[in-house]
Structure 1
Amino acid sequence: MEYVVFFMILFLSAIFLKSKKQIDQINKLNNLLFIKKDPGSYVKALDKILERKQSPKNIIINVLQKTTGLFYMGKFDEVINILTNDLKNVPKNWEPIYYQNLILSLYFKGENQKAHENMKKAKSMFEEFKNNNYYTEMIEIVYAVSDYFNGKKNKDYFSELCKNGANDYRKAMGHYFLGLIFKSENNKGESVAQFNLTAELGKGSFLEELSRKNS
């Protein structure tokens, strides 16, 4: 009986240490991307992680995280290529991130028709996950961006995103699309103000450069 208890303690300790290591890794990556605003270092960190021996599932998850960094670097072609050609059997609970990165990359690259087609493919999955707090905002952003490129300019949603986005890059996304909307309304003063906020909050990402081109 004592041996059973001993090995049970060892087993639980191993699980705890593994979980702690994973949490520490996630926190480090999030710090690089969303606090230090350094997508390049985020991608390099994931490349190092991918050099380690790991399960096929973890490889897929880490590659998906890498495409998030590549997206914020503005490397849309690379994101699209990885997601459409290299990744197979994406875990169900990672599908929202897969389609977020793919659809947004297609829209920002100007491949609107392909983005629309993938929105149709992803719709039932998005509906399944939209009430999960972890995915809600992510899915709402994809819907709002898709609506914008379909001619529906949701100023109220993007204004809300500017205030309550989960991180500065998401807030920058809100300011960027508000800037585009105000620009289409010939409201130069407000559009420039929004693009300036995009550059400030989106520092280090493609949004910073894109906002300067539009302001």
Structure 2
Amino acid sequence: MRRLFVENASYQINKPKVSIINQVTATFLPGRVYHILGGPQSGKSTWLSLLAGLEVCTSGAIYFDGTDLAAIDREMYRAKKVVCLFENGNLVNDTPLANLELAALLAGCSVKSSELENVLLAVGLTPQQIKMPITRLSKKVQQLVYCAKVMSSPAKLVLIDEPDQLFSEWLETDLLQKLTNFCRKNAKCLIIASQGKQTIKFADELWGLNGGKLLFIKEQQID
């Protein structure tokens, strides 16, 4: 079953008229990890914004579980079907537990606070840190919360933009290993966009984005 199907999708901006994404067709499956490699200004963030429903294709279509994103309530889609880790991790100024509770509320999930606490403990927070304001936590602990946000979400699609900037160098490998293993085990489709090559080793498939074209490069065997 296809999680995402992109059919001849293009995205243009009009001032001046420039094609950022140009006639892309691709299929993304559940339980697979994809790495989109591209240089600065190659359109990686725009590509993830289209998959997240933050933008709509100028032409063509993107289907999630067979439904055209342009034809649905995209706010509901982002709340229930996709979880995004972009530049700032998308955390609100509250406690780690409150962040996970808010995400569950928006997704319409009935989850006990104790279950969310267990996820936070599992990624490495202490019982005290779970109920501390985000602003009082170190960058390292905040990054653990990013990971917990994904692992507590019912979303079937996970999008990560520039993990080299999102995660500290000493945490990146450990957190990406946790996230990729989690997504494979739980049949979630994980798409990582990055200009760095350090994260390629975590992907089942490597794709490249250049000149608005998304091109399949190779499939990898993951141990």
Q: With structure 1 as the length reference, what TM-score do the two structures score?
A: 0.26
- Structure with a larger share of its residues in strand: 2
Which structure is larger by alpha-carbon Rg, 1 or 2? Answer: 1
